[in-house]
Amino acid sequence: MCGRFVATAPPSELADYFQAVLNETVVNADLEPSYNVAPTNAVHAVRANDGHREIDTMKWGLVPSWAKDPKIGSKMINARAETVASKPAFRSAIKKRRCLVPATGFYEWHKIEGQKAKQPYYITRADSEPVVFAGLWEAWKPKPDTEAFDRAVEEGGDPENLPWLISCTLMTTDPNKEMKTIHHRMPVLIPPGDWDRWLDPTNGYDQIEDLLVPGPDDLLKLTPVTTRVNSVRNKGAELIEPAELS
């Protein structure tokens, strides 16, 4: 799975890199750089909008349109490539609501035989280019006569015009040779030449299915780091400093 990542690029830099425009939510959110982005955090994501790329702010943890409560999103941070087309939570989004989630790198934990604590690794592209996750997104708002609707109104929401919650999930697949040394899964990474094909909502599942594969074996660089990353409260640059393996 992919459960933590690093996002340090400012929106203006992302706009240049993806040749995209900034949605007003990005400006309003004003996300701080984070070396420990965790599920339910707000993240930047790229999606197609009227023929161009747009950078939006989304909550990490997909909330299906049919969900009764947004809390379900905490269980929907990843979507498996092997089952995404059949799972009720993802089968609609994979057809027409795909996004890209940029990152500086991501973390994974390696279980070491005979040790209770897992060894965390910070994983980047070997060529120092940004990591670009394949993602899916959904729009959700509470329906009347539900606890979520009543709660939103109690918190000051306009019952006639409650805001949409835009959320996302990250795709995962089998590991490549490098990732296999520490974990049995890896995120699906989309190369620049396939960004538009992935984002285009007119492309059906059969036109993007071939992208749901492991990255090349020489794509990634794995660096052991300290267990300080285990705590979501820690967000600083010290988290990606290399650590010696015991």
For residue 201, what pLDDT is reported? 96
- The pLDDT assigned to 149 comes to 82
- CB of 37 closer than 8 Å to CB of 5: yes
Specify the pLDDT at position 159. Answer: 75
Domains of the chain: 5-240 (3.90.1680.10)
Q: Which residues are catalytic?
A: 2, 108
User: So what's the pLDDT on residue 246?
Assistant: 67
List of residues 6+ apart from 48 with CB closer than 8 A: 54, 196, 199, 200, 201
Please report, in tens digits, the pLDDT of each residue of the chain (246 residues total): 789 999 999 999 999 999 999 998 887 788 899 999 999 999 999 999 998 999 999 999 999 999 999 999 999 999 999 999 999 999 999 999 999 999 999 999 999 888 888 999 999 999 999 999 999 999 999 888 788 887 877 787 777 788 899 999 999 999 999 999 999 999 999 999 999 999 999 999 999 999 999 999 999 999 999 999 999 999 999 999 999 886
Are the C-beta atoms of residues 44 and 101 closer than 8 Å to each other? yes
